[in-house]
Amino acid sequence: MENTNAMEILKTAILMEKRGKAFYEKMAEQTNSPEARKIFTTMADEEKAHVEYLSLQFNHYVKEHKFSKPDTSVAQEDISHEVMNAEIVKQISAASFEAAAISAAMDFETRAVEVYSKRAAESTDPNEKELYAFLANWESGHHKILYDLNEQLKESIWFDNQFWPF
């Protein structure tokens, strides 16, 4: 049962990352904002890295029927400086297509954190546990970037429309 479940989780994880990549690529293609395009392209690149990372584990698991020690030195760099700047808030309205996409992307990232965290907690294989804990942390960083951006967009529209109760 553990082997079947491990394979299913790996397949689910790869599919989830591929869907995230496709989503970000489509948003980058459809936006008119250069700053939003940069965010979505950067996030698509991150999802591609996750697919590659998980695919290595999948291939190893298929051959060896066990997880390899995950390479946690993989560049998990702070990308917030690439996507967070004052210009992005100017270019994106909190009620725009891009803002809606950012909100949807937060849901993607939340789901990934939940799946990876749950599997890390359930697994008895130390390498698998480490793999999913690492991925949950990586996805948490993405969620934080999107959350912070969403909060800045909300603040901007609240300020512009004088929604403050005082």
Considering Cα of 10, then 127, then 68, then 117, what sign does the dihedral take?
positive
- The CATH number covering residue 36 comes to 1.20.1260.10
- Tell me, yes or no, whether 59 lies in a domain: yes
As a whole number of angstroms, the distance between CA 22 and CA 63 comes to 28
**How many structural domains is the chain composed of?**
1
Q: 64 is written with which tokens?
A: 């060896």
- Within a domain: residue 40? yes
Residue-number span of the structural domain to which 90 is assigned = 2-68+83-160
Query: CA 97 to CA 77: how far, in whole Å?
Result: 28
53 is a domain residue? yes
- Between 54 and 152, the higher pLDDT residue: 54
Query: At 86, is the pLDDT very low, low, confident or very high (cuts 50, 70, 90)?
Result: low
pLDDT tens track for 109-155 = 999 999 999 999 999 999 999 999 999 999 998 899 889 888 887 77
Position 85 confidence tier, pLDDT thresholds 50, 70, 90: low
CA distance 158 to 161: 5
In a domain, 127, yes or no: yes
Tell whether 92 is covered by a domain. Answer: yes
Within a domain: 96: yes
pLDDT at 74 over 80: no
Q: Quick one: average pLDDT of 72-80?
A: 63
